[in-house]
Structures are given as C-alpha cells and as structure tokens.
Structure 1
Amino acid sequence: MKRQFYLNKILPFFTAFLLIFVCFSASGQCKEKISESNDQKVHYHEIPLKGKSEYLTLSRTGEERLFSYHNTDLDLVFHARMFTEIRFISSTGNFSLFTTSSDRSRWFTAFTLTSPLTPKEILKMRGTEKIEIILPEEKRIFIVSASSNNLIRKALGCLK
C-alpha cells in the first residue's frame, strides 16, 4: 500500500522531468558561448562536412545570423581580397553567399569564411542537396546526405 502511494506521488515528477529532458535534447543541440568581442551570448551549431577538419557553423548573436565554413587542413597560403562564392543547391531554391575575407593567418591556421544570412536564405537552406565553395585556387563540392540535411535543419532551429 505504501509502495503504491509513493509511486503515485513520484511518478508525475519523474514524468515531468523526463519530458523536460527530452525537449531540451531534441532542440537541435544548440551550443552557447559568450563572444569575446562584445560579451553577448552566441548560439551556434556545427555541421561536419569531411571529418573533424572541415565543418560548417550556423550561429546567432542577437538579430545577426551567420554562416561559416571552417577548414583546418586547407593548403591555401593566403586568401586574396576578392569575392569567394558559397553556392547552395537546394530543393527549395538555389542561392549563393559571398564573402571577401577569411580569418586565415600564420598564427591561426584554420581557414574560415563567414557570411551573414537573410531569412529568405535560411528558408532555402532547409532543402540543401549540395554545397559548392569556390575558392581562387580550387572548388570544394559537398553532396549533402539526408543525415547531414537533418543536422542543417536542427542548426537552423538554433537561429530562431
């Protein structure tokens, strides 16, 4: 009798805790950090492209939404001050992002391209099938699998 009483009292709390845990774990695994430059909270999500050395990041700081491409193995000595195109082929519409600079230096060897995102581009990213990064010395092409597209959709949830 006492066992049933405790079970009836504990079960609703345990169920509520479990629901909260599931909601947070299914929210796209958004990560947070504090920006070093302006002390604002940054919400971001990383999407692997090729191993651990090449990945995308979708991030949000306040109202600003950014797309970044990172590559720690790219053997590009310097990045010329010219437009670099990042082309998205998507079932919801193709589009390109453009950037004019990278964060590559002798001290920071990771190559990073960053571009702001508009709400229209964010909607089109949901059906991404292929991403092309057109650099001065080479062209990187990534076919987006169904599992990677699910990661992109989860990351887009972090941008809200």
Structure 2
Amino acid sequence: MKAIALFGITGLVSACLSLCNAQCLEKVSRSTNKKEYYQIVQLVGKKEFLSLSRIGEEKIFTYHNEEVELIFHVQMFTEIRFTTKDETFSLFTTTSDRNFWNKSFMLSSPVTPQELEKMKGTIKIEIILPEERKIYTFGSKSNVILNKALACVL
C-alpha cells in the first residue's frame, strides 16, 4: 500500500514539474549539455527581444538586438534599468557579444529570484549603451508576456 501511495505522489510531483516547464521553450545547452528552459519576450519586431533562461539553478536575463549600430562594445558595465510601479532597479552587464559572423548584439546578466520577482510589475526597461539609450515601455498585454517568461525561470 505504501509503495502505491509513494508511486502516486511521485507521479503527481512529476506532473507538476512538467506543467511548470510546459510554458517554457527547451533546448540542450551547447556549453554544459544540460537542459535549458527559456522564454522570449519580443520588444520591436523580430530583431529586438529579451530572453529569460534557466539551466539548473542559474538564471540569466539577456537582451538581443540585431540592428544596433555598435560594431564593437567595449564599455566596462552596461546598465539595464527597470522601472516598476513601486521602484526602479538596475542590472549591470560586464560583457557584450558582437562579432562579424553573428549580427546579434547581446547583453547578459545573471539574475536572482528577488530581481525576477521585482520585474513582475515592469513598466519600462532602459538599455543604456555608450552611444544611445533604448527605451521599451510595457503595457498590460506585454507585461503578461513578460510575466509568462518570468514564471518560466522562477
């Protein structure tokens, strides 16, 4: 009897985990060979977007832009400023990726569960680059998409 109950509980937990990850896109990371769960939030067209990803306990926020005019990005820190209903906070990236064979410009930053929670009420995101400032405003419809991405990695 105990074995049947244990099997049932294990099945229930497994189904819950599958349901939680069902809203996420999934791929195998080339660098670690582990499953990566991620979600994309479109900003402008298909060329500018955010992605939130999780590999195990590691959570990463990434800004992608295929049309940014910078050829090389050498700034020591790049600020990504979030404005929510309650507060303003920033993530800082120390690296950017841009090269001749990959036209996408990316800024990545590890995020904590507390920072992900703060992002839930996002009204505006500013990407502060050396030569320009990109500002993206979030209405209720786009905030639902952002919250779906946040739920994927939380």
Calculate the TM-score normalised by the size of structure 1. Answer: 0.81
Structure 1 residue 29: deviation in Å? 2.8
Is 2:75–2:130's contact at 8 Å kept on the other side of the alignment? no
Is 1:80–1:136's contact at 8 Å kept on the other side of the alignment? no
Q: Distance in 2 between matches of 1:156 and 1:92?
A: 18
Structure showing greater Rg:
1
Unaligned runs of 5+ in 1: 1-19
> 2:23 matched to 1:29?
yes
Q: Distance in 2 between matches of 1:28 and 1:87?
A: 29
Is 2:49–2:64's contact at 8 Å kept on the other side of the alignment? yes
Structure 1 residue 92: deviation in Å? 3.8
Q: Secondary structure at the match of 2:51?
A: strand
1:9 aligns with: none
Could you report, residue by residue, the CA deviation over 1:62-94 in whole angstroms, capped at 9, with x for unpaired residues?
Answer: 001110000011111110141100000011432
Of the three residues 140, 146, 154, the one matched with 1:146 is: 140
Q: Distance in 2 between matches of 1:119 and 1:94?
A: 16
Matches within 5 A, 1:118-157: 118-157=112-151
1:114 aligns with: 108
Unaligned runs of 5+ in 2: 1-14
Q: Distance in 2 between matches of 1:117 and 1:28?
A: 22
Q: Distance in 2 between matches of 1:117 and 1:92?
A: 19
Is 1:27–1:154's contact at 8 Å kept on the other side of the alignment? no
Is 1:60–1:159's contact at 8 Å kept on the other side of the alignment? yes
2:56 aligns with: 62
Is 1:133–1:140's contact at 8 Å kept on the other side of the alignment? yes
Give the alignment's Cα RMSD to 1 decimal.
1.8
Percent same amino acid among aligned pairs? 51
> 2:70 matched to 1:76?
yes
